[in-house]
Chains A and B, each alone.
Chain A
Amino acid sequence: MAGRHSKRGKGHKVETPDLELMPMLNVFISIIPMLLLSAAFVQLAVIDTGLPASAATVVPAESKPGAPPPVTIHIRATDYLVESGDAPARSIPRSSVAGAAGDPGRLPLEAMLRSIAAQGEKKPEVRIVPAVRTRYEEIISVMDLARGAGLPDAVLADAEAGAV
């Protein structure tokens, strides 16, 4: 118990009361281990996506009133193939060996998606068509690129008609 500390001055007593901190300390010591054990320090997020449909069988976006034509990105072993509306398909070389972060095709692909996003007020849907051996990390990376370029609606699509 922290007592009172008194000083004797010129004939009078000055008391300096101490706060009783032990109960509070006990509460803290009980709560903090519990919080530490149950806290999730890794921040998870989710990307909502539709189930992959065949890129060939998806209802054409032109039939939806006012919707711009979708942008289809094929992730292939050596390049990204980008199809947008009636424009001819454009190929961007990539490296699947370097990993998603070291892929030299990221910047050109992002620039291309930015230019597509800047074309109109309504943003087209992005359909990502991975190859069967495409790694999950690379798919997420392309989704991130599309989102960063201003095209937030990215869905998976399947190149093989009727596969799913």
Chain B
Amino acid sequence: MARNVSRRHRARAGLKASTSVNLISMMDILTVLLLFLLKSYSAGGEVMVPQPGVKLPESTAESMPQTSLVISIDGDAIRLGAEKVASVADVAASGDAGIPSLAERLPAAAPAEGAPEGAKATAVTIQGDRNIEYALLRKVMFTLSQSGYDNVSLAVLRKA
């Protein structure tokens, strides 16, 4: 009814009907979304993504991750970056203090992308599944110490 009145009014005034879509509300939504996304980037530090299959433990720690080599340990495999270097079952069954296959690959491991020269060359971050046993973690850390990686960080999910 109101539209008819409005159309008649426009026709009487000799104006064409406006066909533009009202985009203001859409712009509002997009602006809020853009600000939210930009804020999530401004947190700083290295953007580290948990490896698939690894359920990290939660912690109250607040230190931001730095650029480093990443070793992930889930229920099945130990990975250097994305490459599988050992099976968890094999490592658990072996009587070695370290993990020979990991030790072989560590010297050739490419430095993390964006890592500065020198200072952080021995930094490594371990992404361990929350259910792995300390015996396994100890073997990984022993191998790291033997290979000269003495700056070890444990990755955790930050508690909200």
| Contact of A46 with B64 in the complex, beta carbons under 8 Å | yes
| Contact of B15 with A52 in the complex, beta carbons under 8 Å | no
Main secondary structure of the interface of B (DSSP, over half): mixed
Chain A residues closer than 8 Å to B87, beta-carbon distance: none
Chain B residues closer than 8 Å to A87, beta-carbon distance: none
| Bound CA–CA A100/B150 (angstroms) | 28
| Contact of A31 with B153 in the complex, beta carbons under 8 Å | no
| Contact of A46 with B27 in the complex, beta carbons under 8 Å | no
Binary per-residue interface labels of chain B (9-26) against chain A in the complex, 1 for a CB within 8 Å, 0 otherwise: 000011100101001101
| Contact of B27 with A7 in the complex, beta carbons under 8 Å | no
B50 at the interface (CB under 8 A from A): yes
Indicate which residue in B34, B63, B154 contacts A140 across the interface (CB closer than 8 Å): B154
Chain B residues closer than 8 Å to A31, beta-carbon distance: 34
Contacts A100-B57, A144-B61; A44 near B48 (Cβ below 8 A): yes
A98 at the interface (CB under 8 A from B): no
Chain A, interface residues (CB within 8 Å), range = 35 or more
A113 at the interface (CB under 8 A from B): no
A97 at the interface (CB under 8 A from B): no
Chain A residues in the interface with B (C-beta under 8 A):
1-3, 5-8, 18, 21-22, 24-25, 28-29, 31-32, 35-36, 39-52, 100, 130-137, 139-141, 143-144, 147-148, 156, 158, 163-164
User: What are 23 A-B contacts defined by CB distance under 8 Å?
Assistant: A2-B20, A8-B14, A25-B23, A39-B37, A40-B47, A44-B56, A45-B157, A46-B64, A46-B66, A46-B155, A46-B156, A47-B156, A49-B152, A49-B154, A131-B134, A136-B129, A136-B133, A136-B137, A144-B61, A148-B60, A158-B138, A163-B138, A163-B142
